[in-house]
Amino acid sequence: MTDLKTEGRLDQARGKIRSTWGDLTDDDFDQARGDTETLIGKIKEKTGDTVENIRTKLDELMKDETD
């Protein structure tokens, strides 16, 4: 699983994450404070998606950030 804390990557990926999971708010990101597990929990809570699917999608989004 990609660590969103490194190099402030959560802020860099915020737009892509919000476009993927539009129900997320800035408050959700602020509460996560760069913690991947908290963010996954927020996404799961808002969307009902599985943790596995969320992790996979986050990995894909973060991979795109580093390419």
What is the pLDDT at residue 47? 94
CATH of the domain at 45: 1.10.1470
In a domain, 47, yes or no: yes
In a domain, 43, yes or no: yes
In a domain, 1, yes or no: no
Residue 6 has pLDDT above 60, yes or no: no
- CA–CA separation, 5 and 45 (whole Å): 21
What is the pLDDT at residue 8? 66
Residue 15: give the domain boundaries. 6-66
In a domain, 60, yes or no: yes
Mean pLDDT along residues 13-34: 88
| pLDDT digits 0-9 by tens, 25-48 | 989 988 888 788 999 999 999 999
**Which helix H or strand E contains 63, and what residues bound it?**
helix 51-66
33 or 3, higher pLDDT: 33
What is the pLDDT at residue 7? 47
Domains identified in the chain, total number: 1
